[in-house]
Structure 1
Amino acid sequence: MLPHGTWPTPIDAALVAAHDGRPEYLGAVGGELWWTEPRPEEGGRRALMRLRAPGGAVSGDAPEEPESVLPEPWNVRNRVMEYGGLPWAAVPRARGGPLLVFTHHGDQRLYAVEPDVPGSAPRPLTPVSGVGGGLRWADPVLRPGRDEVWCVLEEFTGERPTDVRRVPAAVPLDGSAAEDRTRVRELSRDGTAVGGGDFVTGPRVSPDGRHVAWLAWDHPRMPWDGTELRLAELTGDGVPGEARTVLGGPEESVAQVEWAADGSLLAVTDASGWWNLHRVDPGGGPSVNLCPREEEFGDALWRPGQRWFAPLEDGTVAVLHGRGAKRLGVLDPRTGAVVDATGPWTEWSAALAVDGTRVVGIAAGPHTAHEIVELDTATGHSTVVAAHHTDPVDPAYYPVPVPRTVTAPGGREVHAQVYPPRNPRARGPQGTPPPYVIWAHGGPTGRAPAVLDLEIAYFTSRGIGVAEVNYGGSTGYGRAYRERLRGRWGVVDVEDCAAVARALADEGSADRRRLAIRGGSAGGWTAAVSLTSPAAADVYACGTISYPILEPESWSGDATHDFESRYLEGLIGHPDRDAERYRRRSPARNAARLTVPFLLLQGLDDAICPPEQCERFLAALAGAGGEPVPHTYLTFAGEGHGFRRAETIVRAVEAELELYRRTFGAR
């Protein structure tokens, strides 16, 4: 028997860093599969990958190996809305191989390249702007017949983070706009952009080329609060006519729009209280719910280009659906029946691609990392075609999640997944429950998936339990569950996390004296408030706070990026009318209540949660008087919101473990 936190394990911080991140932005290109994947060992860049013959594994042939489309230093990523959006598009061609356009993170320009043409190098399609954050591009759609790529243009008009506009735009493929901003054609009518909102997604053109659809929303709404599906007719020269709203509104969230092969307009909307798939009447008449269920067929639209459903050529629709976790199914719109794919995968990313009868997605499970999985709808057969999961260590060191529902104040249900310590070579002292760390996910409009995560295994294999809490406000459980957080951020999330911690202690699963809380971004806020709020007084012995919000009263307007600059109006209240509410919940203003050790982690290039908040928080703590609170503050040059570099991840994970060992007495 060994003290918790000291169990020998092959899962070290370098292994965690090597497996950080997952494939994203999957698409089908003429029978091939393309996607981006993380490269922590290459400075955290995103590589664009290509699988030339994904059907090989299905047919029994030796499977092809994926190849990188672009060498270092090309980083296929953008910063539209700061979190980025779909960064690439490609189309097959009869000669010369595919044509690819992509955004490069280094300069945010849009590039084109013919990767199969010998000697072809990426050539810029868009110019550089020295104004504010410059020009950014996302969610591209190639229209070779018009020699254009249509996408979202995000343009800074001044030096402030909120001096920004977004419109659907057409960029010529001949490179004429590379040095000339005027050559970019905004999709407008009479000089007025048809976007019609502070935020827009990329345009979707109907199969007959006569209509274009997109989503739009305005401050202070976030896309999960209320969005509008806009539709416009296209003239023969590709100019949109007057835009009309055909679905959605201030209290209805439309998460995705696509055209089916037969010209039907499909969208996911939460008009029923759940994100369900609807057929939309382009004339503005009532939409038809194709599968009315108290399940989610969509999720929070954090990044333009996310895809929870994909129409197939035969009229059926590949869908992701469920409560909490989402599974892959095929929906028959005529009957409303859904046939689910088989396999061990319990979580699917918003990145569906279709090709003929094939549906391909990115999926994971409690015992597998994210893989690229193909479903042949003609046979019902599912198989992994790329990013195959391999166990770097004995799976006996992996934790096994236990779904839990606990009761929080007011009798509300709170969902969580609990990961007890697990190690085939060690166990803790008899009669001594293990320490536990409560993980608060980011967002806060998001959800923690129950998938294999070596960072969780890093702690559980050492004898420290982890509980991920999908507190009120999380997605996956309907609009009413999301709106529990409205006006109550810093209350409901704190109470729900504490309820899970107390439930584990009350039942004897966790040591009441050795509980911790950790989180990043919005989860960093929840962790910080939990350590400074009476609602969680005496629950936690320490905490880890990563790239957090610490001053809600200053985290608005020009103090953060435009996308979330008014997010807190829904989460807390109006900064002026509800100023006292902001002050009551602010970790910086309540630093004197913090009495337990903590670790604070921050990227110095973070445009979302700037490091100045951490510095002012620590200054407030130092000026609070009393006994100094033990803490460690680590900053990382070159890191933004969330850590991508292997060396950063290693240092952060090891520092967190050291905090728990010191606090829990596990040395």
Structure 2
Amino acid sequence: MQILAYGEWPSPIDAATAAAHDGSPEYAGFVGDEVWWTEPRPAEGGRRTLVRRHSDGTEESVLPAPWNVRSRVIEYGGRPWAGTARDGRPLVVFAHFADQRLYRYEPGGEPRPLTPVSPVGQGLRWAEPVLLPERGEVWCVLEEFTGEGPSDVRRVLAAVPLDGSAAEDRGAVRELSDDRHRFVTGPRLTPDGRRAAWLAWDHPRMPWDGTELLLADVTPDGTLRDVRTVAGGPEESVAQVDWTHDGRLLYASDRTGWWNLYRDGEALCPREEEFGGPLWKLGSRWFAPLDSGLIAVVHGRGAAALGVLDPETGEVVDAAGPWTEFTPTLAAHGERVVAVGAGPRSAHEVVELDTRTGRARVIGSAHQDAVDPAYYPEPYSRTFTGPDGREIHAHVHPPHHPGCAGPADEKPPYVIWAHGGPTGRSPLVLDLEIAYFTSRGIGVAEVNYGGSTGYGRAYRDRLRGQWGVVDVEDCAAVALALADEGTADRERLAVRGGSAGGWTTAASLTTTDVYACGTIIYPVLDLTGWGTGETHDFESQYLEGLIGPRAEVPERYEERSPVARADRLTAPFVLLQGLDDVICPPVQCERFLARLAGRGVPHAYLAFEGEGHGFRRAETMIRALEAELSLYAQVFGLKVPDVPVLELAG
């Protein structure tokens, strides 16, 4: 065992290795008896491909570059594909990221467009397709821009002809609903096709604040009539809706303070845990009804397990296996369930559960160790105490190396990671970006600060009106607790985060003296600008809940913004931004840097062409990780000769 300074341990996990394994499979589903899903390709410009698992177990990427199966609806996207088997052959429709058109694809042929390109604004976008070959249509969410502004947009349910007749004719798209609601999810049809259900909500609510569950009858000619609200409301979030095999309405509602399951209004398994989550992407699925009457569920308090619920007894039996976290991408076919799971020692992979035998196995995107797993972190979950004695949930990843240890008289540097959202949660799963630091002797603590999901509505609502306060306090409380107990070096604490986590990082650096430096990634920095047209429609009124009604507390928007507090910033930082980001646009970074000009604060600004909100290209992720490590090395006094030196300007 070598004794080396923390942060200077030699590691086989370089930035290229971490970048190559970034992202996870998503939107798993069945096409006949086969399982298909989308998968990232960081080395191919960050596109997402569609993967087919044949009946013999072999995997095939069915769409070569440059096809990119990804929707831009509400910018965070939604389920971008659907498939069925016709005469034993797959028929698939998907949204292509570059032009956002829907395409029809059948193996052996080329994708053919089903929808037109709009000359207005940011175009026509589609998500959550439902294939109805018997009607000759695909039903989905249509997001249509009506002008050049980010909020010049309407959203409706629509039916697109499968014969391609709408490929050049917007008029051939049949609208199924009116646009009385600002946001809608895709329709879910009863097994007999006679009723449809979907969710809707309006500004200033976000879907985790309150949604309405709408129900309609489907006429023989395929129109929706007698639309009525049957659940939900301004203070009740219905996260998902579906139908049982015998046509009973199934949905997840947080009316008790926890997202629990209901069937025709009756609670099936009332527990203080979540059977739903924040609807950041349309088509997220936390439950899937089975033909047997059982229901596959992703559920838990904090960590989300895969289980099978018996609605008659309320009993849930969890799948056995190494996976401790599952994502909301369930699909069911007969008695089979597919899901995407991960754990502290394995990245996300496609898992199939046979509900008759209870056997779960990996069937796709199987985890393969990129390096000796002895270099992986050995994390643990922990509850800290924050201001006023409140609980703060976090995952701690101590420095770990099979052949190195730090000096007995030295404490390791630690980086506090603030997740995005902020309505979200950091799962405890293998992340090679974290291992990139821990294997070098730098600890990481992921903080699920007040406002995070997975712990009930009361925990989630802690951030209402308190963004920039509670999140900052909770991250600081964890950092200082680690330092006070001797786990971390008090003089070598850093903070980092992307998107809302970038906001928390910048807010922490401008309002506290806890951190020696920080990494700010595609952040919100100016609330006044962000809340008045500098972001996309979906989040354009998010601040009404996070900060407070702008008409009533305009001063709060100014006071809390890191832009307004730039004169208080003294800690070095690196700012990482995608130039194509329409959610947190580069103008926010430029304004922040202009306020800092001439103040002598060491910093670097790296802006990446072709990147939006969330880096997807391998070369970008490599540059970003190396820049972050170089910042820590310079501030903490570490020698890292294998990483390019980041030039910090004053």
The residue identity in structure 2 corresponding to 1:50 is: R
Q: Which residue of 1 aligns with 2:439?
A: 461
Q: Per the alignment, in what secondary structure is the counterpart of residue 497 of structure 2?
A: strand
> Offset of 1:180 from its aligned partner?
0.6
Aligned match of 1:543: 518
Could you tell me how far 1:69 is from its partner in structure 2?
A: 1.2
Q: Which residue of 2 aligns with 1:616?
A: 591
Q: In structure 2, which of residues 82, 85, 92 is the aligned counterpart of residue 92 of structure 1?
A: 85
Q: Could you tell me how far apart the structure 1 residues matched to 2:626 and 2:403 are?
A: 21
Query: In the TM superposition, what are the counterparts of 1:35-50 in structure 2 within 5 Å?
Result: 35-50=37-52
SS in 1 for 2:592: helix
User: Among 599, 602, 611, which residue is 1:639 paired with?
Assistant: 611
What is the identity, as a one-letter code, of the residue corresponding to 2:560? R
AA partner of residue 547 (structure 2): I
For residues 344 and 208 of structure 1, what CA distance do their matches in structure 2 show?
A: 38
Separation in 2, partners of 1:603, 1:465: 27
Of the candidates 234, 237, 244, which is equivalent to residue 253 of structure 1? 237
Partner of 1:70 in structure 2?
63
Contact 1:196 1:216 in 2 (8 A): no
Alpha-carbon shift at residue 394 of structure 1 (Å): 1.0
The 1-side partners of 2:25 and 2:596 are apart by: 40
Q: Distance in 1 between matches of 2:227 and 2:379?
A: 48
Distance in 1 of aligned mates of 2:302 and 2:551: 35
Partner of 1:418: 396
Give 4+ residue runs of structure 1 displaced > 3 Å after superposition: none
The residue number in structure 1 matching 2:409 is 431
Match of 2:647 in 1: none
Name stretches of at least 5 consecutive residues in structure 1 with no aligned partner: 57-63, 281-286
Structure 2 CA distance, aligned partners of 1:206 and 1:380?
27
Equivalent residue, structure 1, for 2:190? 206
Equivalence for 1:61: none
1:183-202 alignment to 2 at 5 Å? 183-188=172-177, 193=178, 196-202=180-186
Residue 22 of structure 2 corresponds to residue 20 of structure 1: yes
**Which shows bigger deviation, 235-244 or 449-458?**
235-244
Which residue is 2:644 aligned to? none
User: In structure 1, what is the Cα distance between the partners aligned to 2:90 and 2:352?
Assistant: 22
Instruction: Please report how far the alpha carbon of residue 196 of structure 1 lies from its aligned counterpart in structure 2 after TM superposition.
Output: 3.6
| Aligned counterparts of 2:147 and 2:532: Cα–Cα separation in 1 | 14
Match of 2:102 in 1: 110
Identity score, percent: 69
- Secondary structure, aligned partner of 2:226: coil
State how far apart, in whole Å, the 1-side matches of 2:260 and 2:32 are: 30
Residue 651 of structure 1 aligns to which amino acid in structure 2? R
Residue by residue over 1:434-487, the C-alpha shift from the partner in whole angstroms, topping out at 9 and shown as x without a partner, is: 000000000000000000000000000000000000000000000000000000
Offset, 1:5 = 1.2
Q: Spell out the pairing of 1:567-586 with structure 2 (5 A cutoff).
A: 567-586=542-561
- CA drift at 1:3: 1.4
- CA drift of 1:582 comes to 1.3
Match of 1:320 in 2: 298
Q: Is contact 1:139–1:304 with CA below 8 Å preserved after alignment? A: yes
Taking the aligned partners of 1:356 and 1:108, their CA distance within structure 2 comes to 32
| 2:116 is equivalent to residue 127 of structure 1 | yes
Residue type matched to 1:225 in 2? D
Distance 2:18 2:6 in 1: 20
The answer on 1:507 being equivalent to 2:507 is no
Note if contact 1:550-1:614 (Cα within 8 Å) is conserved in structure 2.
yes
SS in 1 for 2:634: helix
Q: Report the CA distance between 1:430 and its aligned residue.
A: 1.3
Q: Which amino acid aligns with 2:10?
A: P
d(CA) in 2 for partners of 1:569 and 1:36? Answer: 34
Deviations 1:405-440, CA, capped at 9 Å, x for gaps: 111111110000000000012111112110000000
2:215 to 214, 228, 231: 231
Q: Which aligned pairs between 1:282-301 and structure 2 lie closer than 5 A?
A: 287-301=265-279
CA distance in 2: counterparts of 1:25 and 1:381, whole angstroms: 22
Deviates more, 1:238-247 or 1:440-449: 238-247
Deviations 1:329-370 (A, max 9, x none): 110111111111111100001011112211111000000111
TM-score, normalising length from structure 1? 0.95
- Aligned counterpart, 2:138: 149
Q: Distance in 2 between matches of 1:664 and 1:450?
A: 27
User: Where does 1:557-596 land on structure 2 (aligned, <5 Å)?
Assistant: 557-596=532-571
Q: Quick one: distance in 2 between partners of 1:207 and 1:249?
A: 27
- Structure 1 CA distance, aligned partners of 2:580 and 2:236? 35
Deviation at 1:576, TM superposition (A): 2.9
Q: Which amino acid aligns with 1:620?
A: R
Return the alpha-carbon distance in structure 1 between the equivalents of residues 167 and 569 of structure 2. Answer: 53
Contact (CA 8 Å) 1:376, 1:382: kept in 2 or not? yes
Contact 1:8 1:462 in 2 (8 A): yes
Q: Which runs of 5+ in 2 are unaligned?
A: 640-650
Contact 1:31-1:52 at 8 Å conserved across structures? no
Q: State the alpha-carbon separation in 2 of the partners of residues 71 and 584 from structure 1.
A: 49
| Residue in structure 2 matched with residue 446 of structure 1 by the alignment | 424
- Give the match for residue 477 of structure 1: 455
Q: Which one of the candidate residues 291, 300, 307 is aligned to 2:285?
A: 307
Distance 1:52 1:293 in 2: 39
Q: Deviations over 1:534-590 (max 9, x none)?
A: xxx221000000000000111124211000000000000122321111122110000
The answer on 1:379 being equivalent to 2:354 is: no
In the alignment, is the contact (CA less than 8 A) between 1:38 and 1:44 conserved in 2? yes
Please point out which of 526, 532, 556 is paired with 2:531: 556
| In structure 2, C-alpha distance between the alignment counterparts of 1:86 and 1:357, rounded to whole Å | 22
Q: 2: CA distance between counterparts of 1:84 and 1:596?
A: 36
Contact 1:162 / 1:557 at 8 angstroms: preserved in 2?
A: no
Determine helix, strand or coil for the equivalent of 2:252: strand
Residue aligning to 2:475: 497
SS of residue matched to 1:601: strand
Q: TM-score, normalised by structure 2?
A: 0.97
Q: What is the RMSD of the two structures over their aligned residues, measured on CA atoms?
A: 0.9
Tell me by how many angstroms 1:387 deviates: 1.1
Residue of 139, 160, 172 corresponding to 1:171: 160
Distance in 1 of aligned mates of 2:141 and 2:532 = 22
* Kept after mapping to 2: 8 A contact 1:8/1:425: no
Say which SS state the counterpart of residue 236 (structure 2) adopts: coil
Aligned counterparts of 1:594 and 1:558: Cα–Cα separation in 2: 27
